[in-house]
Amino acid sequence: MNHIHLQQTLPQVFADRDTIISDIWHQDITLHKGKRYLLNAASGTGKSSLCSYIYGYRHDYQGIINFDERNIRSLSVHEWVETRKHSLSILFQELRLFTGLTALENVELKNRLTGFKKKKEILTLFEALGIPDKVNIKVGKLSFGQQQRVAFIRSLCQPFDFIFLDEPVSHLDDRNGLLMSRLLTEEAERQGAGIIVTSIGKHLELAYDETYNL
């Protein structure tokens, strides 16, 4: 996948509003592979909705979203499965980890789909983010900031053309935010991937190509 094209996209819940002031909604926007984008938003302006539309598990929007000129509404279930395995990765704001599984088990669930990373590489990521001692701890016993780092590691354990990170550093200190930025940049550059980060204030420190206000 080389680009994601948003054409007059708008959440249906916003359809009755008289005025929409946004760089994204009701605009013609193309996100390119290899570029880095920051989406600034106030709470309630639809940033998580946008991620969910592009990831394909919500459809309550107007307009068109294309992957390389293909309307995503036309993708079959099998095509969505393959897209999520090989082209799109996402770090959800709410993380969506399995609290009854260990940190490593959560990551390995994703990694087993493609065998993208070796176990040694995964453990190196835990070490780099300062949580090597949490590998075999059940996620439900970790702090939210620790869980964010586990979810981030999981998001890197697959091939992708684009990676979405929805408020990825909301519970992290500056040091861990910088570590995450470095690891994300290294992985995205290896894959030639695009990065899309959402923020309501605190955001990953990256050299962004474009900043949009949602």
pLDDT tens for 116-127 read 999 999 999 999
Mean predicted confidence (pLDDT) in 125-130 = 97
For tokens 């590998």, the residue is: 135
pLDDT at position 101, please?
A: 98
Helices (H), the chain: 47-55, 77-86, 103-111, 119-128, 144-156, 174-191
Q: Is the pLDDT of residue 112 over 90?
A: yes
Mean pLDDT (the chain, rounded): 95
Q: Please state, in angstroms and rounded to a whole number, the distance separating the CA atoms of residues 204 and 180.
A: 8
pLDDT at position 203, please?
A: 84
pLDDT band at 201 (very low <50, low <70, confident <90, very high): confident
pLDDT digit string, tens, across residues 27-55: 999 999 999 999 998 877 888 899 999 99
Q: Is the pLDDT of residue 200 over 90?
A: no
pLDDT band at 213 (very low <50, low <70, confident <90, very high): very high
Q: Which residue has the higher pLDDT, 164 or 17?
A: 164
Superfamily of domain covering 33-58+76-213? P-loop containing nucleotide triphosphate hydrolases (3.40.50.300)
What does residue 37 show for φ and ψ, rounded to 5 degrees? -130, 140
Q: What is the DSSP letter of 138?
A: B
Q: Please state, in angstroms and rounded to a whole number, the distance separating the CA atoms of residues 149 and 129.
A: 7
Mean predicted confidence (pLDDT) in 140-163 = 97
Direct distance between the N- and C-terminal alpha carbons of the chain, in angstroms, rounded to an integer: 24
Q: Please state, in angstroms and rounded to a whole number, the distance separating the CA atoms of residues 49 and 10.
A: 10
How is the chain split into domains, by residue range? 33-58+76-213
HSE toward the beta carbon, residue 208, CA cutoff 13 A = 15
130 three-state secondary structure: coil
Mean predicted confidence (pLDDT) in 149-157 = 98
Q: Please state, in angstroms and rounded to a whole number, the distance separating the CA atoms of residues 142 and 97.
A: 11
pLDDT digit string, tens, across residues 76-110: 999 999 999 999 999 999 999 999 999 999 999 99
Mean predicted confidence (pLDDT) in 54-65 = 96
Question: In this structure, is the dihedral angle defined by the CA atoms of residues 6, 11, 15 and 17, taken in order, positive or negative?
Answer: negative
